[in-house]
């Protein structure tokens, strides 16, 4: 049986340059925004929706190839990105590849410096994703589909969090997490399912 935490991490995928539209394929911007709005409970005042919407716009503008035509959209994007960052503390650069129906719950202290985030991922307040050391600025996490990230979690370096994994609140993840695993703690370790099931059986 493979361990839910496996070392060492795989080499980091190449850094994203942000030179093209990396919004999810096969869906127009308006439909994507409608879906993001629905994902955030159809609430106009949900900061997570605005953070994702600005991210989608930042990517969409990269379709405009002549730089001079793109410039006003880029200016607007920079303004909106900074506004979301300052107003709600959600730092989500357009260079992070973001899947569909990503839900950002609450706001404050959220730094999403990941390489990519899959579909149906849930992120919460005070989540940090990013590099492990300043010496290696390309090593960023990859978060697969349907991962649920607890409040205050830090996911650092070129780790992969496998699909359907759950990251406990205030965990520090520095190694890969297997699909479907639940991990927590500092450093994050898998929940001992065998011990837990035994405890449940005997109760």
Ligand X SMILES: CC(C)(COP(=O)(O)OP(=O)(O)OC[C@H]1O[C@@H](n2cnc3c(N)ncnc32)[C@H](O)[C@@H]1OP(=O)(O)O)[C@@H](O)C(=O)NCCC(=O)NCCS
Q: Give, as ranges, the residues between 139 and 178 that touch ligand X (CB under 6 A).
A: 150-151, 166, 168-170
In the complex, the smallest distance separating the C-beta of residue 127 from ligand X, rounded to whole angstroms, is 9
Site string for ligand X, 105-144 (x = CB under 6 A): -------------------x--------------------
| Dihedrals phi, psi of 200, to nearest 5 degrees | -70, -40
Asked whether the beta carbons of 51 and 85 are under 8 A apart, the reply is no
Quick one: tokens of 33? 């925004």
Nearer to ligand X, 32 or 151 (CB): 151
Nearer to ligand X, 121 or 158 (CB): 121
Q: Give, as ranges, the residues between 41 and 60 that touch ligand X (CB under 6 A).
A: none
Quick one: tokens of 152? 């205050």
In the complex, the smallest distance separating the C-beta of residue 72 from ligand X, rounded to whole angstroms, is 38
In the complex, the smallest distance separating the C-beta of residue 169 from ligand X, rounded to whole angstroms, is 4
Rounded Cα–Cα distance for residues 145 and 6 (Å): 19
Beta strands 182-184 and 189-190 are: antiparallel
Q: Note whether 75 binds ligand X by CB under 6 A.
A: no
Q: Note whether 182 binds ligand X by CB under 6 A.
A: yes
Q: CA 100, 106, 110, 113: dihedral to nearest 10 degrees?
A: 0
Tell me the C-alpha to C-alpha distance, in Å, between residue 161 and each of 4, 100, 117, 141, 179: 10, 17, 10, 8, 7
Nearer to ligand X, 151 or 177 (CB): 151
Nearer to ligand X, 47 or 58 (CB): 47
In the complex, the smallest distance separating the C-beta of residue 95 from ligand X, rounded to whole angstroms, is 26
Asked whether the beta carbons of 173 and 183 are under 8 A apart, the reply is yes
In the complex, the smallest distance separating the C-beta of residue 167 from ligand X, rounded to whole angstroms, is 7
Nearer to ligand X, 8 or 185 (CB): 185
The number of residues that bind ligand X (CB under 6 A) is 11
Asked whether the beta carbons of 165 and 176 are under 8 A apart, the reply is no
Q: Note whether 184 binds ligand X by CB under 6 A.
A: yes
Query: What is the CB neighbour count within 10 angstroms for residue 164?
Result: 17
Residues lying near ligand X in the complex (CB under 6 A) are found at 124, 150-151, 166, 168-170, 182, 184-185, 191
């Amino acid at each position: 049986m493979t361990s839910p935490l496996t070392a060492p991490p795989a080499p980091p995928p190449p850094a994203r340059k942000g030179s093209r539209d990396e919004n999810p394929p096969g869906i127009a911007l308006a439909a994507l925004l409608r879906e993001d709005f629905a994902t955030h409970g159809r609430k106009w005042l949900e900061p997570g929706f605005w953070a994702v919407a600005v991210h989608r716009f930042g990517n969409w503008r990269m379709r405009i190839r002549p730089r001079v035509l793109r410039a006003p959209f880029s200016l607007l994007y920079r303004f909106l990105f900074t506004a979301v960052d300052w107003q709600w503390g959600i730092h989500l650069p357009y260079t992070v590849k973001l899947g569909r129906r990503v839900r950002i719950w609450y706001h404050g202290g959220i730094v999403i410096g990941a390489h990519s985030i899959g579909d149906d991922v849930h992120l919460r307040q005070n989540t940090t994703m990013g590099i492990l050391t300043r010496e290696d600025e390309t090593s960023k996490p990859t978060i697969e589909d349907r991962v649920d990230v607890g409040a205050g979690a830090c996911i650092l370096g070129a780790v992969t969090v496998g699909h359907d994994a759950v990251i406990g609140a205030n965990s520090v993840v520095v190694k890969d997490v297997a699909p479907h695993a639940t991990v927590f703690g500092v450093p994050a370790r898998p929940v001992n399912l065998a011990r837990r099931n035994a405890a449940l059986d005997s109760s």
